[in-house]
Amino acid sequence: MARKLSMRQAINEAMHQEMERDESVIVMGEDIMGGLGVDWLEGDAWGGTQGTTKGLGPRFGRDRVIDTPISESAFIGAAIGASTTGMRAIVELMYVDFLGVCFDQIFNQAAKFRYMFGGKAECPVVVRTQIGGGFSAAAQHSQCLYPIFTHIPGLKCVIPSNAYDAKGLLIEAIRDNSPVIFFEHKKLYDAETEVPEESYTLPFGEAGILREGGDVTIVALARMAHMAMEAAETLAAEGIECEVIDPRTTSPMDEDTILESVENTGRLVVVDESYPRCSMGADISSMVAEKAFDSLKAPIRKVAPPHTPVPFSPPLEAAYLPDAARIADAVRAVARHGS
Amino acid sequence: MTGERITAITMPKWGMTESDGKLVAWLVKEGESVSAMDEVVEMETTKITGAIEAPEGGTVRRLVAKPGDVVPIGGLLAVMAGEDVPQAEIDAFVDAFEAPESKSGGGEGAGDVTVIEAGGHSLRVRSLGEGEATPIVLIHGFGGDLDAWLFNQEALAADRQVHAIELPGHGQSSKSVGDGGPDALGAAVSAAIDALGLERVVLIGQSMGGALALDLALARPGLAAGVVLVAGAGLGEEIDGAFLEAFGSADRRKEMKAALQSLFADPALVNRNVVEGALRNRRLEGAAEALEAIREAWFPGGRQAHALAGRLGEIKAPILALWGVEDRIIPAAHAKAVEGRGEIALIEGVGHMVQMEAAGEVNRHILAFVAGLEA
């Protein structure tokens, strides 16, 4: 009871349970077992760069757990092909930064099949990929590119902030008949929460309310949800009660939960680790400005990095990424406005 | 916590995973005199907000914790004493106060909950208390779980074992319920009681759990030392069918919140934690189907199909019926069925979850009833 798992373990358990339940579920990706040269059936190798696929190879065998060459455009295409012809492929592409070489397969093929073939074709593929900075991994390994995928109709975008959500959302993603891009923040793999052993699903398009409060609404995703909670704790001591909303999925987006909260608080701060232009921060702000303008008592504030690549230098990266202090400052500013 | 002249009001242990509570609001001021059982402070836990009552009458001399403070279990909230106790003595008491170490270590009472195999089910059981007095078995209602007894179980367990059983299809118990009807659920409870090695117990059931308690008392007269019905089902046809349907189909937070609010007279009690807990249970594989089977078997067409009012005369054990006057799920008028057969206590200002909304009062009624059985 009250068993705790890290997000890494929760993702691993979700794949184990779905592969057990449905034999059409397969897993593909680079080094997900340790490479073809490794005798993984004997010893169980690495399980991908984050260990999320650990144990799947020995349990389900080579036919269903497929180590691929370092050729993203080929194996993402293969996973999408397999998924349009009866399989449910979970394909891991280490870092979202590398998805650029597979845009056609994802944007123009997987996302469009249902529409191009009169609803007769489906593509239940799940692309798992890592996002986020904080490791000084430099400009090509630190981005949060989920807005690009959210932009494309036909893709579903899932961005869990904790282990409980990750398990339920990943199982939902695997069972969903649309292509789903599942974004895992590198800094959250070790974060633990209570996770039931049983299988369960979380519906897409339902935001999580992480904290209730009547003064200011903060919307934040993934690691930023944790930063927002930290800020909310500080602000509560100052007498500012924040409602913290984690959209969990950006496509579909739970507009109602955000709008209802803003109708109550009249003040909104959106925190986004992605670049500030054409971002989720921009998207959510415009949605609220359009649909809840009369409820707003203060201008909407966005907390985001500057519009530059993620710096490699640790002090610069720390200055670049939004943190609890910057969120708290933004909340204080909107809380003060007009009062 | 009661000294000679000074009484400490401390944070109680509510439920199994609570290690602390957040002070929401004081309901009294310093210098105010209160009677025993007056509610003095509201505390929010990760499950629900509950009120703490004054353990005895006296004057509130010092509010130690402030709204917003997070207080560990056993931590000092306030100090009560007579008017004649000098301020210096109050100060010394507060300075010297040390919160007792949590029994289970780390504040998590996970050890209280076990999973037992009974009648082909894996059922969660929370067991508290020890002692020679007749054990109590708690049976929650439709859609409920162990937390239904969050504010009751510890208070009832001062001198006896109290076992709360989580029904099949509910909470984190296994999800196979057969046809979901009274016989299937009753057999599971009966088997659980045997697995716990209990031979004579006071059966306390809320809502559908009340009907199961009556069924058990009928089927096993030797087992039941007494029966307490908390807004019990089985005593009439009416039930809020719209609630059952809404609760049954609520897979989103908004619908779940609206459904749960009709269980309480005070809808503000249904905060995000309560809603989140109910959704987490419901989203477990098989849970929604199990609840649907139970609803169909017990409440087809939004009426109660399991009628026990006419059979109360066959039950030898004393009966106590507790009801919230503002119950919107099962009307309090159903308590009339117990007239001439047992005691009835109607509680003003609370709804169907009477044991949560008026926990102190419900606990006192039950303790008095149980004491009567043993006198």
Domains by residue range for chain A, with CATH: 4-194 (3.40.50.970), 208-336 (3.40.50.920)
Instruction: Using DSSP, state whether A163 is helix, strand or coil.
Output: helix
Contact B324, B358 (CB under 8 A): yes
Give the Cα separation of B18 and B49 in Å (integer).
12
CB atoms within 10 A of CB A17: 20
Contact B205, B232 (CB under 8 A): yes
Q: Which chain B residue lies closest to A199 (C-alpha atoms)?
A: B285
* Alpha carbon of residue B143 to chain centroid: 14
Please indicate whether, in this complex, the C-beta atoms of B172 and A200 are within 8 angstroms of each other.
Answer: no
User: Per-residue pLDDT tens for B172-183?
Assistant: 999 999 999 999
Least confident of A39-53, A137-151, B116-130, B243-257: A39-53
* B103 at A interface, C-beta within 8 A: no
Which residues of chain A approach chain B closer than 8 Å at the C-beta? 1-2, 164, 168, 194, 196, 198-203, 206, 209, 211-212, 236-237, 256-257
Query: How sure is the predictor about B109, in pLDDT bands with cuts at 50, 70 and 90?
Result: very low
> What's the pLDDT score for residue A41?
55
Please enumerate in sequence order all residues whose Cβ is within 8 A of that of B86, keeping only pairs 6 or more positions apart, or say none. Answer: none
Question: Any bridge partners for residue A128, and if so which?
Answer: A92, A182
User: Per-residue pLDDT tens for B331-359?
Assistant: 999 999 999 999 999 999 999 999 999 99
Please enumerate in sequence order all residues whose Cβ is within 8 A of that of B101, keeping only pairs 6 or more positions apart, or say none. Answer: none
Give the Cα separation of B61 and B63 in Å (integer).
7
Give the Cα separation of B16 and B156 in Å (integer).
15
Query: How sure is the predictor about B105, in pLDDT bands with cuts at 50, 70 and 90?
Result: very low
- φ, ψ of residue B62 in degrees (nearest 5): -150, 125
Q: Architecture of domain B6-96 in CATH?
A: Beta Barrel (2.40)
Q: In this structure, what DSSP letter does residue A107 have?
A: I
> What's the pLDDT score for residue B106?
38
Instruction: Using DSSP, state whether B124 is helix, strand or coil.
Output: strand
Q: In this structure, what DSSP letter does residue A45 have?
A: -
Tell me which chain A residues have a C-beta less than 8 angstroms from the C-beta of B115: 1
CB atoms within 10 A of CB A192: 16
Write the DSSP assignment of B298-310 as a string of letters: HSGGGB-----GG
Give the Cα separation of B219 and B186 in Å (integer).
10
| Shortest Cα distance, chain B CAs vs residue A220, angstroms | 18
Question: Edge-to-edge, what's the strand order for the sheet holding A208-211?
Answer: A208-211, A242-246, A216-220, A268-271, A301-303
Tokens in use for A237?
Answer: 């001591």
Give the Cα separation of B112 and B127 in Å (integer).
5
Class at the top of the CATH hierarchy for domain B110-374: alpha beta
Q: In this structure, what DSSP letter does residue B2 have?
A: B
Contact B215, B148 (CB under 8 A): no
ipTM of the prediction: 0.87
> What's the pLDDT score for residue B112?
85
Q: In this structure, what DSSP letter does residue B85 have?
A: S
Domains of chain B, residue spans: 6-96, 110-374
Give the Cα separation of A224 and A321 in Å (integer).
10
Tokens in use for B72?
Answer: 């560990």
For the segment B19-28, the average pLDDT, to the nearest whole number, is 85
* B110 at A interface, C-beta within 8 A: yes
Contact A187, A132 (CB under 8 A): yes
- A-to-B residue pairs, Cβ atoms closer than 8 angstroms: 40
Give the Cα separation of A227 and A242 in Å (integer).
13
> What's the pLDDT score for residue B104?
43
> What's the pLDDT score for residue B374?
85
Please indicate whether, in this complex, the C-beta atoms of A206 and B253 are within 8 angstroms of each other.
Answer: yes
Give the Cα separation of B356 and B72 in Å (integer).
21
Q: Which residue has the tokens 């074709």?
A: A121
Question: Taking Cα atoms as reference points, which of B233, B250, B232 lies closest to residue B242?
Answer: B250
Tell me which chain B residues have a C-beta less than 8 angstroms from the C-beta of A201: 283
Burial of B350 (0-12, 13-18, 19+ CB in 10 A): buried
Nearest CB among B272, B280, B283 relative to A209 is that of B272
Distance in angstroms between the alpha carbons of the first and the last residue of chain B: 28
CA distances from B327 to B49, B255, B258 (A): 19, 20, 15
Question: Taking Cα atoms as reference points, which of A130, A129, A122, A51 lies closest to residue A88?
Answer: A122
Question: Edge-to-edge, what's the strand order for the sheet holding B58-63?
Answer: B6-10, B76-81, B58-63, B33-34
Helices (H), chain B: 87-96, 153-156, 182-195, 208-219, 241-249, 253-261, 272-283, 287-298, 354-357, 359-374
Nearest CB among B110, B272, B285 relative to A198 is that of B285
Instruction: Using DSSP, state whether A74 is helix, strand or coil.
Output: helix
Tokens in use for B301?
Answer: 């067409």
Instruction: Using DSSP, state whether A251 is helix, strand or coil.
Output: strand
Contact A267, A335 (CB under 8 A): yes
Contact A159, A221 (CB under 8 A): yes
Give the Cα separation of B334 and B229 in Å (integer).
11
Instruction: Using DSSP, state whether B212 is helix, strand or coil.
Output: helix
Q: In this structure, what DSSP letter does residue A110 have?
A: I
Tokens in use for B195?
Answer: 């697995």
Q: In this structure, what DSSP letter does residue B311 have?
A: G
| Shortest Cα distance, chain A CAs vs residue B31, angstroms | 26
Question: Any bridge partners for residue A303, and if so which?
Answer: A271
Please enumerate in sequence order all residues whose Cβ is within 8 A of that of B224, keeping only pairs 6 or more positions apart, or say none. Answer: B200, B201, B202, B203, B213, B216, B217, B315, B316, B317
Give the Cα separation of B264 and B269 in Å (integer).
7
What is the residue-averaged pLDDT of chain B? Answer: 90
> What's the pLDDT score for residue A42?
54
Please indicate whether, in this complex, the C-beta atoms of A236 and B68 are within 8 angstroms of each other.
Answer: yes
Instruction: Using DSSP, state whether A90 is helix, strand or coil.
Output: strand
Catalytic residue among A16, A141, A151, A307: A141
Walk along chain A (339 residues) and give the pLDDT tens digit of each residue: 468 999 999 999 999 999 999 999 999 999 888 655 566 555 456 778 888 998 898 899 889 999 899 999 999 999 999 999 999 999 999 999 999 999 999 999 999 999 999 999 999 999 999 999 999 999 999 999 999 999 999 999 999 999 999 999 999 999 999 999 999 999 999 999 999 999 999 999 999 999 999 999 999 999 999 999 999 999 999 999 999 999 999 999 999 999 999 999 999 999 999 999 999 999 999 999 999 999 999 999 999 999 999 999 999 999 999 999 999 999 999 999 977
Dihedral (Cα; A9, A10, A15, A18), 10-degree rounding: 140
Residue type, A221: L
Q: Which of B253, B269, B273, B282 to mutate to test the interface with A (most CBs of A within 10 A)?
A: B253
A141 is catalytic: yes
Instruction: Using DSSP, state whether A131 is helix, strand or coil.
Output: strand
Contact B109, B178 (CB under 8 A): no
